[in-house]
Structure 1
Amino acid sequence: MILTVTPNPALDVTYTVPGFRPHASHRVTEAVAQAGGKGVNVARVLTALGRPARCVLPLGGPTGDAVRADLAAAGLDHAEVPVGGDTRRTVTVADGTDATVLNEPGPALTPAEWDALLDETARHLPQAAVLVLSGSLPPGAPADGYGQLVALGRRFGLPVVLDADGPALLAALPARPTVIKPNAAELTAATGLPDPRGAARVLLRRGAESVLASLGPAGLLAVDPHGTWRCAPPAPVPGNPTGAGDATVAALAAGLSGNAGWPAILPDAVALSAATVHHPRAGHFHTPTYHHLRATLTATRLPH
């Protein structure tokens, strides 16, 4: 079982608006709401792949009720931590080519609620093969909140995947996450370096055991102390990129659970990420695209 922790879950609302333009009035052709947050998306993708996954997440208020109901309806295994605040919402406006996302900050967690999240995570770790930590930290969480969760997973002997950015990412590096998954902009923000390969090496020196960098249409770059690997789709994929990074993390976690290496993980992650862009909603993927790309992609090891 792969355990995902989403400290700041959301009810994801996706509006489909053909020809979306800012500062204009639009008619929405489709509106869909589902349980979300990056770790929930990861678990949703894994479940669709037939991989056992379980979500740990704090939920509260009427929006938390809606998230809970969708998790149950989707058959997603989950364990919740009750909190006093109302779970946040996100709004994605997708026009068929790209997407615009509005993220609410989320409810503030009390120290007792944060400790309850740690305790609930620890309760499920003995059954887990991989621990995935994804998304923003909610207001009220400790600055080193992800560092605490990474240390908890490592204490149980698990590989830990961390998909976070900014101060939350940097504060977690001393706990030595197995893999971190920043995108190109997050790499530059964390290190000040525009070169993804050089930035990844800086984060290795700061504590990450390996870096899987998402470069958008240019694919994925994996860097660890033993080398560098690259894999990219044959052409840019139009659609809704929201959730593409979560699909990458799902493929990564699945690969780690089977002790796969980068040559196997990267093509699977690129194919699944691209197939997610082809689907209008995060946490879902276009199955024919996934199988087609997975059969054709290969990873390349780059020279030092």
Structure 2
Amino acid sequence: MILTVTPNTALDVTYTVDGVDWDGVNRVRVVHRRAGGKGVNVARVLAALGEDVVVAGFGGGLTGAAIEADLSAAALPTALTRIRDESRTTVAITTAPQTPPTTAGPPSPGPGEAPASLGPGETRASPRPGEAHGSPGPERSHASPGPGEARGSRDTPAPAPRTALFNEPGPEVTPEELGRFMATFQDLAARADAVVLAGSLPRGVPLDLYATLAQGARDLGVPVIVDCDGAPLRLAPAGRPSILKPNAAELAGALSPGSPPSGGVAAALAGAEALRRAGGEAVVVSMGQDGLVAVTGEGSWRARMPYAVPGNPTGAGDALVAGLARGLVRQTPWPERLRAAAALGAAAAATPVAGDVDLRIYRAVRDEIGVEPCPS
């Protein structure tokens, strides 16, 4: 069993719209409501792959009850600690063409086309460079332009999909509620094959919570993956996690708070090595169009997609973490583990809602992802 911990669970609401008019009324074309948060999304992907999971975290108020009900409907075992305060709601607004393009398989790259993003953070709220455009939509039924219409405008492709996220801060957790959660975690971790600690922290919870939980699991001999940012990421290495999984921006923010991130593979490798020296056994950094890098005790590698997979990047990093967790439990070699994780990230980007993966795309691209050693 893989235990996923989401301290700041959420009810995720995704609106799909044709465009956003910030000064007018917007009509929502499609609405998705489901339990979310990074660890919940990881659990959904693992369950889709046939893994046994348990979802832990906090849940409060009517929103918390809705989260539990949705997880139950999805047949995901839960052990949420009930709290007095209301759990948060997150809103994602995604612009997408009404008629998505259809292809028999993953698209081949055109000249100069950038590979797909393998992680979420660096493009959480904007399209990735080089992403394929959506369908231009239906044409006019007549060949001639109407009065004042520019000739040929009907052939203009629709803009690439864009996603904006709105995250509430989360509930306030009391010391008594935190104590009950810690007892639940200790019991579940003792029965787990691996633990995933993911996402932001609610108010009232110490910033070193992930370090404490990671250390507790490691004391039980259970490997741990941590996916977070900010102060929790800076403090997490003290708990000796098996894998830390930031994206490039999160890594830069943890190492040099307030400084502009320095991009590139060399910067990611150097930052990952710094987190390893601080206590993490391995560090995997997602870098958008540059793929991902892993720095481990067995060596360093880089994985890259051979072509772009357009879509919604929200949840791609969570799917990537699910692949890492599965590989950790199965003790697969690092190159194979990274290849599967990257393929799951691409398969998640091809779906409209975080927590879903297109297994057809996962199987199609997995063996085509290039993994190469990085010089030490």
- Place the TM-score, normalised by the shorter chain, in its bin: over 0.9
Matches within 5 A, 1:144-163: 144-163=208-227
Partner of 1:95: 95
Distance 2:227 2:22 in 1: 30
1:134 maps to 198
1:202 to 274, 277, 281: 274
Matched, 1:188 2:252: yes
1:301 aligned partner: 373
Listed as ranges, the gaps of 5+ residues in structure 1 are none
Aligned-residue offset at 1:218: 2.1
SS in 2 for 1:299: strand
Identity %: 44
Residue 251 (1) aligns with residue 323 (2): yes
- Residue matched to 1:286: 358
Residues 263 and 298, structure 1, Cα contact 8 Å, conserved in 2: no
- Structure 2: distance between partners of 1:265 and 1:142: 32
Letter of the structure 2 residue corresponding to residue 3 of structure 1: L
CA contact (8 A) 1:144 1:171 kept: yes
1:136-180 alpha-carbon deviations (Å, 9 max, x no partner): 011000121111111111011011000011101112211111100
Q: How high is the TM-score relative to the length of structure 2?
A: 0.78
Deviation at 1:204, TM superposition (A): 1.1
In the other structure, the counterpart of 1:239 is 311
Given residue 83 of structure 2, which amino acid in structure 1 is its aligned partner? Answer: V
Q: Is the 8 A contact 2:284 2:292 kept in 1?
A: yes
Q: Tell me what 2:343 maps to.
A: 271
User: Which residue, out of 199, 219, 238, partners 2:291?
Assistant: 219
For the 8 Å contact 1:135–1:164, the answer to whether it is kept is yes
Let me know the Cα RMSD of the aligned residues. Answer: 1.3
Deviations 1:224-265 (A, max 9, x none): 233210111122332111111100110000000011121111
Is contact 2:305-2:368 (8 Å) kept? Answer: no
Larger deviation, residues 247-256 vs 119-128: 119-128
What is the distance in 2 between the residues matched to 1:135 and 1:118?
17
CA 24–203 in structure 1, closer or farther in 2 if over 3 Å, else same: farther
Distance between the aligned counterparts of 1:292 and 1:4, measured in 2? 27
Q: 1:58-97 alignment to 2 at 5 Å? A: 58-96=58-96, 97=161
Q: Over residues 96-124 of structure 1, what are the superposed CA-to-partner deviations in whole Å (9 max), with x where a residue is unaligned?
A: 32311010011010111112111111111
Q: Secondary structure at the match of 2:367?
A: helix
* Residue aligning to 1:167: 231
Larger C-alpha radius of gyration, 1 or 2? 2
Instruction: For residue 296 of structure 1, report the CA deviation from its aligned partner.
Output: 1.9
Q: Is the 8 A contact 1:217 1:237 kept in 2?
A: no
Give the count of matched residue pairs.
Answer: 304
How far the C-alpha of 1:21 sits from its partner, in A, is 5.7
Q: Distance in 1 between matches of 2:277 and 2:20?
A: 43
Q: How does 1:3-14 map onto structure 2 within 5 Å?
A: 3-14=3-14
CA distance in 2 between counterparts of 1:89 and 1:231 reads: 34
Q: What is the alpha-carbon distance in structure 1 between the residues aligned to residue 6 and residue 316 of structure 2?
A: 17
Report if the CA contact (8 A) 2:319-2:344 is conserved. Answer: yes
Q: Is the 8 A contact 1:98 1:238 kept in 2?
A: no
User: In structure 2, what is the Cα distance between the partners aligned to 1:224 and 1:22?
Assistant: 46
Distance in 2 separating the partners of 1:149 and 1:289: 34
Cα distance change of structure 1 residues 21 and 150 upon mapping to structure 2, 3 Å threshold: farther
Aligned CA distance change for structure 1 residues 22 and 183 (closer, same or farther; 3 Å): farther
How does 1:5-24 map onto structure 2 within 5 Å?
5-20=5-20, 22=22
Any idea what SS the aligned residue of 1:13 has? strand
In structure 2, stretches of 5+ residues that fail to align are 97-160
Q: Which residue of 1 is the match for residue 182 of structure 2?
A: 118
Give 3-state SS (helix, strand or coil) of 1:296's partner: coil
